[in-house]
Amino acid sequence: MTHYKKQCVVGVNISCVAYKDVVETCRQWIEQKAGSEQKAGTQAADTQSVPGARYICVTSVHGIVTALKAPAFRTALNGADVVTPDGMPVVWAMRSFGISTQERVYGPTLMLELCRQAAALGHRVFLYGARTETLESLSNRLCARFPGLCIAGTYSPPFRPLTPEEDASCIRMIRESGADLVFVGLSTPKQEAWMVSHRDSLPGTVLIGVGAAFDFHAGRVKQAPAWMQKRGLEWLFRLCMEPGRLWRRYLLETPVFLPLWALQRVGLVRFRTPSLPSPR
């Protein structure tokens, strides 16, 4: 299995990957799961022969700044199998640290690329998060865009913590669906916490936290134009679209990132993180 180099950016280890790397790695993980199940001679996942779930985080400046104040969340990010640079400021930071060819690996686009592969290879997809009507629209649009895509199931959690019984029922639903990929759209840091707490319950499954991708692809929320995304101005577009929800994030929290990046770049601040994988 390929391991990718990670670069510390203000305390969070970001994977040096492109879309094709993440898509290919997910294919390998799913094939590994299928091979383990076949070897075990069972149709359902055997927890003794199949490793726990892999999980992927897509991380922007908001995630990095949140991790500074929340050690448990920082641990969740740094424990992920892959952490992609979801925003252009994170990409620019990585380039400044010597990863000169790094490009953005944007959650909504990554979701589409994985769905494209899933339709081609028969991978089963589960959608966890958002409102019921959003999931219905999202499922319809994804299946129309990728003929042959199998949406194995969906679940819209209530706007409160699940009871132990509800949580167990949901996990059982995901396992019985035979899902290979579970897209989690709960927003940061809830989706990362959910993936960490359920990875042992979903052996062999690939979990991907994709944030606002559900709302974008369901047509509920508009995405920023490509030119704004490339210039690192997506935050401004989203702030204009949802000022009541996002003003604190973009006007109070995100500006903390810039001076810390600069201080790390010149060596005046060092961040302690777990040991980084060797370059591939």
Residue 279 is predicted with a pLDDT of 41
CATH topology of domain 12-265: Rossmann fold (3.40.50)
| HSE, side-chain direction, 13 A CA sphere, residue 150 | 12
Q: In whole numbers, what is the pLDDT of the chain averaged over residues?
A: 91
Residue 249 is predicted with a pLDDT of 79
pLDDT at 255 over 90: no
State the CB neighbour count (10 A cutoff) for residue 68: 17
How far is 70 from 237, CA to CA, in rounded Å?
27
Closest CA to 185 of 127, 142, 136, 133: 127
Exposure of 194 by Cβ count < 10 A (0-12 exposed, 13-18 middle, 19+ buried)?
buried
Residue 112 is predicted with a pLDDT of 98
Task: Dump pLDDT digits (tens) for 151-185.
Answer: 999 999 998 899 999 999 999 999 999 999 999 99
Domain ranges of the chain: 12-265
Cα-based angle 164, 169, 175 (whole degrees, multiple of 5)? 125
H helix runs in the chain, sequence order: 19-40, 61-69, 71-78, 88-96, 107-121, 132-145, 164-177, 190-198, 213-217, 226-230, 234-241, 243-248, 257-265
pLDDT at 59 over 60: yes
Task: Dump pLDDT digits (tens) for 17-35.
Answer: 999 999 999 999 999 987 7
Task: Dump pLDDT digits (tens) for 215-242.
Answer: 999 999 998 898 888 888 888 888 898 8
Is the preceding omega at residue 274 within 30 degrees of 0, hence cis?
no
